[in-house]
Structure 1
């Protein structure tokens, strides 16, 4: 239906349970009322909104991709590692992947990339880097501008530490507020979640058992979530990496960075 004037539009909003409140549409704090929840819903800047105010909305390239995995077109997967770099386990992961000749995608915390740049400098040639925010913060609780500033700061720190520019974002805990989408689009990032993850707490002191569990979760196009820092129990998964890689290779799997995995699936 075409809406010919403001009067007819307001009538439709009232009929659907949404009534404009406040001053003019461009006023700060402009809201609409949701009859079902009894709450006022922000139309402008807020963690829930993927828009900023009521002006032109064209962040980045005016679109954003969100992926959990790749299309299952071939037997290939991507190993991803979150929350680093850190001195305890990041060198172990890098050494293991180097020995196995396997690429990984590292979603780095900008603050820690700045603190521990020496751990990764010169060691990321076969690997891909992505952003995991400045200090592992919940972007879904921030406004769009604050989220963008956070990502911009993390981006610069990761570039300085690794010499590589992140083009991917994994928001901590997979939280996707509207402001996260807006900020990621401004950064021209692709949002990458995961389709399988390690479950280290179920296999205490049993790297081999955990490795078998992971192998059974993998399907073509899997993006596997792991961590290169964190609770001591997570070391079980990292110690099992050689077994995971070996058994998957025996099943015909190849290993790719996230971007390569997604590109091959689209080819």
Structure 2
């Protein structure tokens, strides 16, 4: 009797016709000095650690740490914002580089449009003169150190990458990045964990330039894109890249005019966040 109402404890027996040694061999336990009793004693802990990727790697958003865990608080990911106001955030990825970034900044200044730039840290360091003193009403975010696919790296590697990018962007622009956009929009658990350590807001997008659909037609591209803008949208553009992306940059004046004609106002991502609730 075990004190649970007089019911004898249930015995776990091997099903008939099952070879005990064959079962152990199939589980990879025979020959390793591990028997069924040892498996029970381990309560599955050792097996899980060996068989499941729960203690690290690109997919894991946690680490094995009995001390202070590096993940703190919460991390938000946003694509757009739910708001009744006709607001849109224009964002640029992959810069800075000479020519394109300079052209983009000149166009935005001429039309009094604020934007959010997700800079690559290594490029900020190398082309500091392009952006130093020019960010004015614009805001900056991190787009990693060298535009690697962070979703293939573990948390330590991602943290090192983001730390280098953060330091370079802050030093050159004078702004502490508070926003982060992962290269290619790829988010692994390790990337989320590393981003949480910087208290970043992760920003993706709800609308993007359609350059390849309008080769050599900046005005047509601008008209189409302006018609697609919705309240609270985050628009992805690039100030670095292949030549076909110039269609979007050359059509920026027409795009800005078209969006404003529909009653929209351009804001930074942070201003957009303050105006509503992230949609995720």
Change (3 A) 1:209 1:57: farther
Q: Deviations over 1:172-217 (max 9, x none)?
A: 1100100010000001100000000001011000000100121122
Tell me the TM-score normalised to structure 1 length: 0.85
After TM superposition, which residue ranges in structure 1, 4 or more long, deviate above 6 angstroms? Answer: 23-29
CA radius of gyration, larger in: 2
Q: Deviation at 1:161?
A: 1.2
Tell me the TM-score normalised to structure 2 length: 0.81
- 2:90 pairs, out of 43, 65, 79, with 79
Change (3 A) 1:151 1:27: farther
Q: Deviations over 1:220-260 (max 9, x none)?
A: 00000000010000000011111111111111100100011
1:234 aligns to what?
Answer: 245
Q: Deviation at 1:24?
A: 8.4
Pair 1:64 & 2:75 matched: yes
- 2:100 pairs, out of 81, 85, 89, with 89
Contact 1:28 1:44 in 2 (8 A): no
| Unaligned runs of at least 5 residues, structure 2 | 1-38
| Structure 1 vs Structure 2 CA RMSD | 2.2
| Unaligned runs of at least 5 residues, structure 1 | 1-19, 32-39
Pair 1:246 & 2:257 matched: yes
> 1-side partners of 2:43 and 2:65: how far apart?
11
> 2-side partners of 1:104 and 1:265: how far apart?
18
> 2-side partners of 1:224 and 1:148: how far apart?
27
> 1-side partners of 2:45 and 2:147: how far apart?
33
Aligned residues: 239
